[in-house]
């Protein structure tokens, strides 16, 4: 299995906060970079959930300003963008308009799934929402997600993106039987469509994890890990797969991915283990062996070191704390 497909199959995405923003000229809405802790329903403080926010312009036009990009970006019908957690943005009718509202303020005034703002002039409609990722703090997933992705309406795959966003909006609005399940699946499809199109354009192949995947030697080693996560990998065996010396491989791996080879192997094993645990049809020792551990004690120790809780606590909590921690994001 190639690493990109493995990550797509393993990650779990949940959509929430979907709404339609009806804005009329003049209007401006901003979201600032914030990183405060959240308090979960159980009273525990956690770091902000790993999130992304997406929007598609379905009518009218506007301007998007993104932190780190000097010039504002014009958007028109069918354009879609995705921003990672912590990226400050401003949406407005004109680069000269000062943003009067925040996304949180607009959301508080929303009527159902429809939010409104502006002065009554020419209308613009934007479908917005947020995505939550279970344990997205693990590096392979977060390194797939740049701070900003823009897909213009005239680019390949945009029609599929548009159809997915519209279907997601419909499911979240109607709330028919099964809508929550369908919306979650559509959110996964949307995220994969955006990332796949972004990767195809080659815009991120010179950075981080994707740079490593497309590196002739590192790519072979990563593919070997994802193809057989339970193998008894060592730095030496991974270096041999890459056709490099142990020392050169270790240095190159750390340079590209920001962690050692065995840190990567362990983190990805735990990502796969969480997926297996959620299925609830396997004994702990079976999960341990499927991800490369001979004893459940060794597996549990590694799991707690990476995830922060032992497997039993992880299952008991049902991971709701992490998901609920992100439900009040602004976008």
Per-domain residue ranges for the chain? 3-200, 208-317
pLDDT at 45 over 80: no
3-state secondary structure of 267: helix
Provide the angle, in degrees to the nearest 10, between the axes of the packed helices 261-279 and 296-307.
100
pLDDT at 37 over 50: no
Amino acid 230: pLDDT: 95
pLDDT digits (tens, 9 = 90+) for 263-281: 999 999 998 998 898 887 8
Q: Please enumerate in sequence order all residues whose Cβ is within 8 A of that of 233, keeping only pairs 6 or more positions apart, or say none.
A: 224, 225, 261, 262, 265, 292
Q: Please enumerate in sequence order all residues whose Cβ is within 8 A of that of 217, keeping only pairs 6 or more positions apart, or say none.
A: 242, 243, 244, 249, 252
* Alpha carbon distances (Å) from 288 to 238, 284, 311: 21, 6, 10
Instruction: Select the more confidently predicted residue: 317 or 319.
Output: 317
Amino acid 327: pLDDT: 39
pLDDT at 59 over 50: yes
Instruction: Select the more confidently predicted residue: 133 or 282.
Output: 282
Q: In the CATH hierarchy, which fold is given to the domain comprising 208-317? A: Arc Repressor Mutant, subunit A (1.10.10)
Which of these ranges, 166-170, 215-219, 275-279, has the smallest mean pLDDT?
166-170
Highest mean pLDDT among 6-15, 130-139, 156-165, 306-315: 306-315
Residue 85 · residue 50 · CB < 8 Å: yes
* Alpha carbon distances (Å) from 77 to 60, 120, 125, 148, 310: 6, 20, 9, 19, 47
Amino acid 143: pLDDT: 66
Task: Assign domain 3-200 to its CATH architecture.
Answer: Sandwich (2.60)
Parallel, antiparallel or unpaired: strands 123-133 and 13-24:
antiparallel
pTM: 0.72
Which of these ranges, 35-49, 174-188, 303-317, has the smallest mean pLDDT?
35-49
Residue 19 · residue 173 · CB < 8 Å: no
Instruction: Select the more confidently predicted residue: 206 or 277.
Output: 277
Parallel, antiparallel or unpaired: strands 123-133 and 114-118:
unpaired
Q: What letter does residue 111 receive in the DSSP assignment?
A: B
Q: How far from chain centre, in Å, is Cα 204?
A: 15
For the chain, what percent of residues have pLDDT higher than 90? 38
Parallel, antiparallel or unpaired: strands 148-151 and 38-39:
unpaired
Helix ranges (DSSP H) in 149-260: 158-174, 179-200, 208-213, 216-227, 235-242, 246-257
């Amino acid at each position: 299995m190639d690493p990109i497909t493995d990550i797509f199959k393993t990650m779990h995405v949940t959509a929430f906060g979907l709404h339609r923003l009806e804005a009329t000229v003049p209007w401006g809405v901003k979201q600032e970079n914030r990183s405060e802790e959240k308090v979960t329903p159980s009273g525990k403080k956690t770091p902000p959930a790993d999130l992304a926010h997406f929007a598609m312009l379905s009518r009218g036009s506007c301007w998007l300003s993104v932190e780190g990009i000097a010039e504002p970006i014009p958007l028109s019908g069918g354009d879609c963008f995705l921003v990672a957690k912590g990226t400050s943005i401003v949406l407005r009718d004109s680069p000269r308009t000062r943003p009067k509202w925040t996304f949180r303020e607009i959301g508080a005034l929303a009527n159902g799934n429809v939010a409104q703002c502006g002065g009554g002039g020419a209308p613009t409609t934007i479908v917005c929402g947020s995505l939550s990722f279970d344990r997205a703090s693990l590096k392979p997933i977060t390194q797939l997600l740049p701070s900003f992705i823009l897909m213009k309406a005239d680019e390949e795959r945009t029609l599929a993106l548009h159809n997915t966003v519209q279907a997601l909006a419909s499911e979240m609005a109607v709330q028919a039987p099964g809508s929550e399940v369908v919306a979650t699946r559509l959110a996964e499809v949307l995220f994969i469509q955006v990332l796949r199109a972004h990767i195809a354009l080659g815009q991120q192949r010179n950075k981080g994890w994707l740079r490593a995947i497309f590196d002739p030697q590192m790519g072979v080693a990563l593919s070997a890990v994802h193809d057989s996560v339970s193998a008894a990998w060592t730095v030496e065996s991974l270096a041999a797969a890459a056709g490099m010396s142990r020392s050169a491989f270790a240095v190159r791996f750390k340079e590209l991915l920001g962690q050692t080879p065995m840190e990567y192997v362990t983190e990805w094993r735990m990502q796969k283990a969480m997926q297996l645990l959620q299925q609830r049809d396997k004994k702990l020792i079976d999960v341990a062996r499927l991800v490369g551990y001979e004893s459940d004690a060794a597996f549990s120790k590694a799991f707690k070191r990476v995830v922060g809780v032992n497997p039993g606590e992880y299952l008991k909590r049902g991971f709701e704390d992490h998901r609920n921690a992100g439900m009040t994001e602004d976008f």
